[in-house]
Amino acid sequence: MAETDGSLIQRCREGDLEAFDRLVEKYQGRLYHSLVHWSGSHEDAEDIVQDTFVQAYRKLDSFQERSAFFTWLYRIAFNLAVSRSRRKKPEQSLETRVEEIGEEVAAADESAERQALRAEQVEQVRRAIAQLHDDHRAVLVLRELEGLCYETIAEILDLAPGTVRSRLHRARMQLRELLKDMLVEPLPD
């Protein structure tokens, strides 16, 4: 039977590093996926995820379990990501430096043409996401890629739920404009 986050955290506090390993294994994928799309870079995402877990470990005593562990983790991660982004001031915009972050874009049984089309679509969507303002991108990623509710997003980003709603709407409207050519076509099956 899988251990709950609570019991793993308790074990961590008692100095059991393996319990923390379990938490890392459990959440690294989700966190990484969100951060790759937030930062547009595998490298940055990996750094942020790693730093997030390091901070989480060191601050574990301050986690009062009023929220879910992963919410707390996301909160650390996005704060780190934003701080990092502010420091970074890249010469290139995120849109132009967005990496080829696709994993396996196409299904194995797809034709080469479909695979190419799907890859193209994925690339366009990523570039469009990268053009959003950091704040808008964060809510969009947490909502659309993570499927989190407004309340959780608000908790992670330290916002009012109403702000989440309005930011999400603005993000979508901007994205709609950026992807307007794609919105008239159906997705390839």
- For other proteins, the binding residues in 43-72 under the rule CB under 8 A are 43, 45-47, 49-51, 53-64, 66-67, 72
Residue 99: phi and psi, rounded to 5, are -85, 170
- Read off the DSSP letter of residue 109: T
Confirm if 150 and 165 have CB atoms less than 8 A apart: yes
To other proteins, the closest distance from the beta carbon of 81 in angstroms equals 7
Residue 87 makes contact with other proteins by CB under 8 A = yes
CA distance 172 to 177: 9
Residue 78 makes contact with other proteins by CB under 8 A = yes
- Which tokens hold the place of 70? 């992963």
Residue 158 makes contact with other proteins by CB under 8 A = yes
Exactly one of 94, 130, 132, 140 binds other proteins (CB under 8 A); that residue is 140
Residue 84 makes contact with other proteins by CB under 8 A = yes
Query: Of the listed pieces 84-92, 108-116, 130-138, which binds other proteins according to CB under 8 A?
Result: 84-92
To other proteins, the closest distance from the beta carbon of 93 in angstroms equals 14
Residue 102 makes contact with other proteins by CB under 8 A = yes
CB burial class (10 A; 0-12, 13-18, 19+) of residue 101? middle
Residue 112 makes contact with other proteins by CB under 8 A = no
Cβ-Cβ contacts under 8 Å for 97 (sequence gap 6 or more) = 40, 41, 90
